[in-house]
Structures are given as structure tokens and as C-alpha cells.
Amino acid sequence: MYERTGSLIALLPAHNEQATLPAALASLAAQTWRPDRAFVVADNCTDHTAEVALAAGTEVFATVGNTAKKAGALNQALDELLPTLTGDDLVLVMDADSLLDREFLEIARGKLDGSSPLHERHRRQLGGVGGTFRGGPGGGLLGVFQRNEYARYARDVRRLKGKALVLTGTATVFPVRVLREVQRARVTGDLPDRSRAGGVYDTHVLTEDNELSLALMHLGYGIVAPAECTLETEVMTTWSDLAKQRVRWKRGAVENVVDYGLNRVTAPYWGRQLLSALGVLATFLYLMSMAWGLVTGIALQPFWLAASMIFVLERVVTVRRRGWPQMLLAAPLVVEMVYDLFLQLVQAQALAQSLLRHERRW
């Protein structure tokens, strides 16, 4: 067993991440409040991930016989580490392709210990502090689309003053006492985990981070993603990879709320799923009406023209923090509409797979 030597432990789950790992570890080393220990959780790696981690001075936890992807790898590491920590210690779980901005951990600690101006009701109940992320470089036009999407997400988080819907896997800080409570609740059946093995993460879901967020709220904790906790994450560079990622995200989100049922915690999430389904329908009706007008030569009605202009304005305003080039790119409706239509198709696919209970794939 590992001996506790500090108050913050960083865990970076990694499967063949030798290329991105050095930058991620460098961002940890550059923090204004640095982890006391950092572990790369090397899961079934066939490259030099472990060697890269050791060369950077980071400890390595190698999984044994793990078949449950990221959730299983983290559970193995946490099962060994949590008994060596105190309830007031903190655990950072961070993707190996994430780059934390310098004050991320210091700000997260401030939120958790109540030293920042947070409402008293939330100071005692925070189960985790996540971040808002921006897309990294590369990916051509597809990368631009994702960076604009992430900028809009960050804008929504700022407007909600850090109120988060999910603690993403890009980077989140948890109190150890909270993670232990999650483990107990899974064993007792207070959380809908099929295995009852007492892992922090449910290994039977596609979106373990979304499920853990629901678990924390189900146990009475709040979750936040402060606007100041910022980081960079990789973007998908091919449409195929993006489709696989988003189907998993969206299908996982649907199945998570089904597992938890309809209650006070999940009601907003059910509402979002309903809005997403209606959004898919509205998009296709809009496109069909526009196409019908062009084919038949019928003049477009003022209502649809006004709706189009409002849509264009929204696209431009929501990326203004990224500068004029991105605002100009967002202005032509047909440019980003290709990306939006792609996401709507992915949403429809995810809903169909959930309803038909297709085999789950990572």
C-alpha cells in the first residue's frame, strides 16, 4: 500500500498516451499549488506511457487485468490509494490529454475549503470542483468547429456562475471523504451500480464522469465548474472519431438518467434530453421547409427568415471571446450548420441505440 504523504494526489488515467502525457505532466508541475504526489494510471498500455511518466518524475500505477476501460483503471488505483489518505485530502482526476492553466488547482482548493466567496450552503456540500475547457490546436476546420462549441459551453458556465451539469473527466478535484461515501453507497445499493463492488466509478456505464456527477448530487452534494478553473483538451481530428466520441457521450447521458429514474436531481437532465430530442426534430423540419421553398420556388416566409437571422446572431455572439476571425466564420449560416447537423444526427443515433438497446461500444 502507498503511504499518505500529502493533501493532494493527482491521478492521470492513460492508455497509450506517450505523445500527450509530457505536456499534461508539465501543466501539473507549473501549478501555483502543485500536487504532493502524481500517479499515471497506466492501463493496458502497449507503448512507452509508463517510461515517459517515470522519466518525468511521476509515479506509475499499472492496472492488472482491467477490462472496464477508464472507470476500471481508476477504481483499481483508488481502491489502493484511498485507504492511505485522510478524509480531508483531495484527489485530482485528470485526463492525460488535458493541460491545466496555472491556477486551476489553487482555485479548486479555494472552492472546496470555503476560502472563496461561495454561498455558505454550498461550502459544506461541494462534492467536486471541475473546470471549463477549451479545445486544443489542430483538426483543421473540424477542430475550429469543436473549439467554437467549447467556447459556447464555457460561456454558458460563466453565465450560470459556475453551476455545472457534469464534472467532466478532463479535470476534477474531489475530497477523499466524498469518494469514500460514494464507495459505501454503491455497496449498500443507495446508488444504482449493478456490480455492488464498491468502486468510486460505475464500470457498467459509457459515461462514468456523468454518472459520478449524478451520484454526488444523489447523495446531497453540489458540483461546480468555476469560470476561473480553465484548461485545454484535445479535439477530435476526424469526423469518424468525433462521431464515436459523441455517440458515447450522448447515449451514456441518456442511459445514466434512465438508471437514476425521474426525481428531483434528474428532472433537469430529463428536461435536457427532451429538449435535445425536440431539437433534432426542429432542425429537420427547418431544413425540410427551407429545401421545399427552394425546390418549389415559394418565397421564404418572414418567420423563417427571422428565425434564420436570430440563429446567425446567436452563433456570432457566442464566440466573440475567440475574436473576429471566428465570429466571421460563424456568420455564414451554412458553414457551422454542417457541424450542427452532424451533431443532431449523432444525437438521433444515440437515442436510437438506447431505445433499441444496441450493444454498447467505446
**Between residues 4 and 232, the one the model is more confident about:** 232
Q: What integer is the mean pLDDT of 86-104?
A: 96
**Between residues 198 and 287, the one the model is more confident about:** 198
Q: How far is CA 228 from CA 111, 125, 160, 185, 223, in A?
A: 11, 20, 13, 32, 15
pLDDT for the residue numbered 356: 76
- The separation between the first and the last C-alpha atoms of the chain, rounded to the nearest angstrom, is 31
Per-residue pLDDT band at 80 (split at 50, 70, 90): very high
pLDDT at 82 over 90: yes
Half-sphere exposure of 304 (CA within 13 A, CB side): 16
pLDDT for the residue numbered 50: 96
pLDDT for the residue numbered 362: 56
**Between residues 13 and 362, the one the model is more confident about:** 13
pLDDT at 339 over 90: no
Cβ–Cβ < 8 Å for 69, 13:
no
pLDDT for the residue numbered 274: 83
The gap from C-alpha 246 to its chain's centroid, in whole angstroms, comes to 11
Percent of the chain with pLDDT over 90: 59
Task: Give the bridge partners for 129, in sequence order.
Answer: 173, 224
Tell me: the pLDDT tens digits for 42-65?
999 999 999 999 999 999 999 999
pLDDT at 120 over 60: no
Per-residue pLDDT band at 218 (split at 50, 70, 90): very high
Q: What integer is the mean pLDDT of 93-119?
A: 84
pLDDT for the residue numbered 310: 59
pLDDT for the residue numbered 273: 79
pLDDT at 290 over 60: yes
Q: Return the top range by mean pLDDT from 35-39, 279-283, 352-356.
A: 35-39
Q: How far is CA 143 from CA 234, 238, 321, in A?
A: 9, 9, 17
Domains and CATH numbers, the chain: 8-237 (3.90.550.10), 267-356 (no CATH)
What's the CA gap between 136 and 156, in Å, rounded?
19
The lowest-confidence range among 58-72, 141-155, 186-200 is 186-200
The lowest-confidence range among 174-178, 255-259, 302-306 is 302-306
Number of H helices, E strands in the chain: 13, 10
Task: Give the bridge partners for 231, in sequence order.
Answer: 100, 133
Q: What integer is the mean pLDDT of 185-199?
A: 84
Per-residue pLDDT band at 122 (split at 50, 70, 90): very low
pLDDT for the residue numbered 7: 86
| Average pLDDT for the chain | 85
- List CB contacts of 156: < 8 A, sequence separation 6 or more: none
Q: What integer is the mean pLDDT of 135-153?
A: 91
pLDDT for the residue numbered 1: 41
Q: Cβ atoms within 10 A of the Cβ of 317, count?
A: 12
Tell me: the pLDDT tens digits for 242-258?
999 999 999 999 999 99
The lowest-confidence range among 27-36, 278-287, 328-337 is 328-337
